[in-house]
Amino acid sequence: MNASHPVPAPQRLEDYRPYPFAIKEVRLDVTLDPQASRVRADLDLTRQHDGDLVLDIGKAVTLDRLAVDGSDLDAADWTRKGETLTIHRALPQSFTLSSEVTIDPAANTTCEGLYLSGGIFCTQCEAEGFRHITPYPDRPDVMAPFKVTIHSDLPVLLSNGNPVAQAPGRAEWSDPWPKPPYLFALVAGDLRAISDTFTTMSGREVDLNVWVRPGDEDRAGYAMDSLIRAMRWDERVYGREYDLDVFNIVAVDDFNMGAMENKGLNIFNSKLVLASPETATDGDYERIESVIAHEYFHNWTGNRITCRDWFQLCLKEGLTVFRDQQFTSDMRSAAVKRIDDVVTLRARQFREDQGPLAHPVRPDSYVEINNFYTATVYEKGAEVIGMLKRLVGDEGYAKALDLYFERHDGDAATIEDWLKVFEDATGRDLAQFKRWYTDAGTPIVTMKEDWDAEHGVLTLSFSQQTPSTPGQTDKPPRVIPMAVGLISPNGDEVLPTQMLEIDQAEQSFRFDGLATRPMVSALRDFSAPVVLRRELTDADRAFLFAHDRDPFARWEAGRDLARATLLAMLDGGAPGPEYLAAIGRVLADRDADPAFLALCLRLPSAEELAQARSEAGHTPDPDAIHAVREELASVIARTHQAELDRVLTDTVPAGDYSPDAGQAGLRALRLAALGLVTRIDGGARAQAIYDGATNMTERAGALAALIAAGAGQDAVADFHDRFKDVRLVVDMWFMLQAANARPDRAVPLARELAAHPDFDWKNPNRFRALIGGLSANHAGFHAADGSGYDFLADWLLRVDAVNPQIAARMSGAFETWARYDETRKAHAKAALDRILATPDLSRNLAEMAGRIRG
């Protein structure tokens, strides 16, 4: 770590202490004004334990008054230091603490606390934003019912819970369910709703509203439809019913992340609400459906049962991601969803585990909690629950979840509580399983086969080993559910899926009574988040790709074949016949789900190849990786030109556009084929699809293909022209260019785009579109001259001064720097040092740059 910029001391799990006071009720009275909003808070406190009364308070909050039971405190009664406010006066057992503060939402550019987005007042309090609104014990284990009064002339005034009274200039809300402060929300503005109702399983009517800016109403329908399906699903699958009279969703344009589950008042990034066929892709629709569900599901997993402290973040996020994944599997194709999730997990979480930011699913220390909303906490957190479910079975899982809701409703709980309900419901000891929560790193599992032909016995031997991660060197063996099946040489399944439990460093399993040597299908359904190493020939992979009954394992065999092909090309080899023949069979397959075939056609990403190279002890060369991917794509296109053309004509869905999985699958296959043929036709077919497009999926897909082929000039201009007034599509315009530009063009183009009048960098979506787009352009960002690193550092420093969360999040692009060659490393190190040497860096960016730099 750079000594010139000390990062504040970390918070530690082991230091957890309960708060000395309980809050019986919170009454807030908020008078909105852009520059000077006034907030009065009355907290009914009762002492529970010894200790001072300490409140959190944001630095920009002006404290106008403090009183206990109505009598004002004077300056000697309290001290304010940093972000804390300590009251020294002797206090009765129970009392009301009143505070009055003034805050300036218009000056708040952080998208945290109370801020303005396009004239709409809105809030974001997770994780520690409530302290920027009022002094409060801003920690999730202090739960209380809230009553909120809002004064404002704006037409729509919303807060959590149920509406109590609405009069011109004033609204009262009451939330009867005790909640932690991070779930507080308030919205005020000129908003329009699309509305519906939902009758819960016990017969209660709930009013549903999706609030958007005037003019956006016609793009909110899919969000509402998704909400209703999510509510129904949670009743049917988890027995969870909604618990208020209204459920409000608000879309805002300036938002640091996807969305937020505030009780009864979810606030969303407008990108995850607004969609029409002309402006949103199939992928956007699917994300809207899943994030609407995710935030809704938090009502039980997160809100009714919350986290004791922020170390337990995965308690709500891992579980809620797991639930939204189940929901999407039920709404769409389970096989395709599983593969998509694994692709994302490997690209983001395996990468995290491999680098300087590796941390356990339940971290035991942090400097800035906002830096721990990570792929490890979310996606690996969900995988860990999937493993639990595999180990205890569907019935055990259902029993454990029922017990969880029954035992912990109203609690701020821990991972220990969570594991205990599984132990109590199923009788299983989970002490070893707990390592999945406490130990960082992706286990590497090696599988060896021994075939005894004389006795017809196959022995599978597994060994497991987890590489060291920052601060953790000793990694004892974990419990790994390993789903395997056996396939006979004629392609029949001789042994259906078995769940082997690997719980030792080395372990063998015997299968006897086999007539011929079977092919082993391993890690079916990606039964554990591990790297599986085994020795296979291309012919073996092609066999599994042709015959495996498990869709994930089948896809994986094809992926493995593609990966092996590309890695061999990096060593100077040529694409082998097995892979090209396998692709031929994919293109000729008229029975399989087109969405599945599209996944089979897609080449492993540059990031995945870089990861594989560095895992195997090589230094990845981004330019070489780019070149072999291009080369393989053109070889495929040349080999299978006729079939690709047939796919392009056979995959036009009949009828009007619908974002359902069936149509989306056809379009995905079409675009996968287009991506390949564009390598050899100079962009002619992509241009034709672009020109004839009737929906954004095809238009954006064709544009991406054209840009990647270096042939997108006209289409890029046309796209901007058509959509210059649709903010979310302008984001797409920035992103598509930065992400798909040819490597040598990427940074110069990003610089030009940063100077474009539409590059409103203070808007998080716009910033992410350009800066995140470039970071996703592997060879472009990792330009050998370091220009990508410099560009990123410049922009991180600039945005850090206005929005530290965005700066910290985007700095993750540096996390892989140490993988590359000396020249690149020197450039990256210099960029990181430059960041760390900057005065007044935010705690967010300082922690990230420091950990990444090492």
Binding footprint of ligand ARG on the chain (CB under 6 A): 126-127, 257, 259-261, 294-295, 317, 370, 373
Residue least distant from ligand ARG (Cβ): 373
**Residue 736 touches which of ligand ARG, Zn ion, none (Cβ within 5-8 Å per kind):** none
Residue by residue, what is the 3-state secondary structure of 441-507? CCCEEEEEEEEECCCCEEEEEEEEECCCECCECCCCCCCEEEEEEEECCCCCEEEEEEEEEECCCEE
Supply the minimum distance, in Å, between the C-beta of residue 12 and Zn ion.
24
User: From edge to edge, which strands make up the β-sheet containing 531-533?
Assistant: 506-511, 457-465, 444-452, 531-533
Nearer to Zn ion, 326 or 639 (CB): 326
Q: How distant, in Å, are the alpha carbons of 19, 149, 699 from that of 29?
A: 24, 5, 49
Asked if residues 170 and 151 have their Cβ atoms less than 8 Å apart, the reply is: yes
CA 709 to chain centre: 30
Nearer to ligand ARG, 295 or 621 (CB): 295
**Residue 260 touches which of Zn ion, ligand ARG, none (Cβ within 5-8 Å per kind):** ligand ARG
**Residue 741 touches which of ligand ARG, Zn ion, none (Cβ within 5-8 Å per kind):** none
**Residue 138 touches which of Zn ion, ligand ARG, none (Cβ within 5-8 Å per kind):** none
- List of E strands, 246-387: 246-252, 259-260, 265-269, 306-307, 365-366
Supply the minimum distance, in Å, between the C-beta of residue 173 and ligand ARG.
21
Supply the minimum distance, in Å, between the C-beta of residue 462 and ligand ARG.
35
Nearer to ligand ARG, 250 or 259 (CB): 259
Nearer to ligand ARG, 295 or 556 (CB): 295
Amino acid identity, residue 70? G
Residue by residue, what is the 3-state secondary structure of 62-95? EEEEEEECCEECCHHHEEEECCEEEECCCCCCEE
Supply the minimum distance, in Å, between the C-beta of residue 259 and ligand ARG.
6
Nearer to ligand ARG, 267 or 391 (CB): 267
Question: How many other C-beta atoms lie within 10 A of the C-beta of residue 95?
Answer: 18
Supply the minimum distance, in Å, between the C-beta of residue 481 and Zn ion.
25
Nearer to Zn ion, 127 or 570 (CB): 127
- Pairing mode of beta strands 37-47, 21-31: antiparallel
Nearer to ligand ARG, 257 or 339 (CB): 257
Asked if residues 711 and 688 have their Cβ atoms less than 8 Å apart, the reply is: no
Nearer to Zn ion, 123 or 320 (CB): 320
Question: How many other C-beta atoms lie within 10 A of the C-beta of residue 506?
Answer: 12
Q: DSSP characters for 508-548?
A: EEEE---SSPPEEE-SGGG-SS-EEE----HHHHHHHHHH-
227 phi and psi, to 5 degrees? -60, -45
**Residue 698 touches which of ligand ARG, Zn ion, none (Cβ within 5-8 Å per kind):** none
Q: Give the pair of three-digit tokens for residue 845.
A: 């960016």
Contact code string over 319-338 relative to Zn ion, x by CB under 5 A: -x------------------
295 is catalytic: yes
**Residue 127 touches which of ligand ARG, Zn ion, none (Cβ within 5-8 Å per kind):** ligand ARG
Nearer to ligand ARG, 98 or 123 (CB): 123
Please work out, in degrees rounded to the nearest 5, the angle formed at the alpha carbon of residue 280 by the alpha carbons of 279 and 281.
130
Residues composing the chain: 854
Q: How distant, in Å, are the alpha carbons of 26, 305, 319, 735 from that of 401?
A: 31, 12, 10, 41
Supply the minimum distance, in Å, between the C-beta of residue 371 and ligand ARG.
9
Supply the minimum distance, in Å, between the C-beta of residue 293 and Zn ion.
11
**Residue 126 touches which of ligand ARG, Zn ion, none (Cβ within 5-8 Å per kind):** ligand ARG
Supply the minimum distance, in Å, between the C-beta of residue 736 and ligand ARG.
26
Q: Give the pair of three-digit tokens for residue 853.
A: 């730099």
Question: How many other C-beta atoms lie within 10 A of the C-beta of residue 80?
Answer: 15
CA distance 758 to 727: 9
How many CA within 13 A on the CB side of residue 104? 8
Q: Within positions 281 to 320, which residues make up the interface with Zn ion, using CB under 5 A?
A: 317, 320
Nearer to ligand ARG, 10 or 119 (CB): 10
Nearer to ligand ARG, 261 or 607 (CB): 261
Q: Within positions 73 to 132, which residues make up the interface with Zn ion, using CB under 5 A?
A: none
CA distance 522 to 557: 10
Supply the minimum distance, in Å, between the C-beta of residue 295 and ligand ARG.
6
CA distance 431 to 413: 18
Tell me the torsion sign for CA atoms 619, 623, 625, 627.
negative
Q: In terms of Cα–Cα distance, which of 777, 781, 792 is closest to 824?
A: 781
**Residue 527 touches which of Zn ion, ligand ARG, none (Cβ within 5-8 Å per kind):** none
Q: DSSP characters for 375-390?
A: HIIIIIHHHHHHHHHH
Q: Give the pair of three-digit tokens for residue 64.
A: 């106008």
Supply the minimum distance, in Å, between the C-beta of residue 307 and ligand ARG.
10
**Residue 299 touches which of ligand ARG, Zn ion, none (Cβ within 5-8 Å per kind):** none
Q: Which residues of 563-575 are buried (b: 16+ CB within 10 A; e: fewer)?
A: bbbbbbbbeeeeb
Asked if residues 410 and 178 have their Cβ atoms less than 8 Å apart, the reply is: yes
**Residue 373 touches which of Zn ion, ligand ARG, none (Cβ within 5-8 Å per kind):** ligand ARG
Question: Could you tell me how many residues of this chain bind Zn ion (CB under 5 A)?
Answer: 2
Q: Is 738 left (phi over 0), alpha (psi -120 to 50) or beta?
A: alpha
Supply the minimum distance, in Å, between the C-beta of residue 306 and ligand ARG.
11
Supply the minimum distance, in Å, between the C-beta of residue 691 and ligand ARG.
39
**Residue 370 touches which of ligand ARG, Zn ion, none (Cβ within 5-8 Å per kind):** ligand ARG
CA distance 758 to 763: 11
CA distance 771 to 759: 11
Please work out, in degrees rounded to the nearest 5, the angle formed at the alpha carbon of residue 125 by the alpha carbons of 123 and 130.
100
Nearer to Zn ion, 320 or 325 (CB): 320
**Residue 521 touches which of ligand ARG, Zn ion, none (Cβ within 5-8 Å per kind):** none
Nearer to Zn ion, 242 or 555 (CB): 242
Please tell me whether residue 220 adopts helix, strand or coil conformation: coil
Q: How distant, in Å, are the alpha carbons of 476, 793, 842 from that of 771?
A: 39, 10, 19
Catalytic residue among 295, 379, 608, 698: 295
**Residue 226 touches which of Zn ion, ligand ARG, none (Cβ within 5-8 Å per kind):** none
Supply the minimum distance, in Å, between the C-beta of residue 298 and Zn ion.
6
In the complex, the residues that contact Zn ion under the rule CB under 5 A are 317, 320
Catalytic residue set: 295
